Amino acid sequence: MDTLTRLKELLEQRGWSEYRLAKESGISQTTIGNIFRRNTDPTVSTLENICRGFGITLSQFFADGNMVELTPELKRLTDSWLVLSPRQREAAQQMIDALGEK
């Protein structure tokens, strides 16, 4: 997938302008504008900041198909999950399953 095409796709999906992307990602509007006007790929660190602004990971940026955004709530849940032991993960999964039952 072409990086610029993907960036344009994400902007369109969200209804964002280049200005909004710059604001959300903490990158200067000039840098964002240059990426699009000069048709250049951003550096990896710039792309990481752009992804952070969109609320996605680099993996999600380059993934084909449906993308799941990593909301702050999902990030917190994922971070908590990663420090659990296998036994704790199983217990947590059982609790989640029980909460989902009707």
Give residue-wise pLDDT tens across range 9-53: 999 999 999 999 999 999 999 999 999 999 999 999 999 999 999
Q: Is the pLDDT of residue 63 over 80?
A: yes
Give the residue extent of every domain in the chain.
Answer: 3-62, 71-102
Give residue-wise pLDDT tens across range 65-91: 666 666 788 888 888 888 889 999 999
pTM of the model: 0.64
Handedness of CA 73, 77, 55, 27 (dihedral sign): positive
CA distance 49 to 44: 9
Q: Is the pLDDT of residue 57 over 90?
A: no
Tokens matching residue 83: 């420090």
Write the CATH number of the domain with boundaries 3-62.
1.10.260.40
Grouping H, G, I as helix, E, B as strand and the rest as coil, residue 32 is helix
Tokens matching residue 86: 């296998």
How many residues are recorded in the chain?
102
pLDDT at position 71, please?
Answer: 75
CA distances from 82 to 13, 24, 33 (A): 31, 27, 37
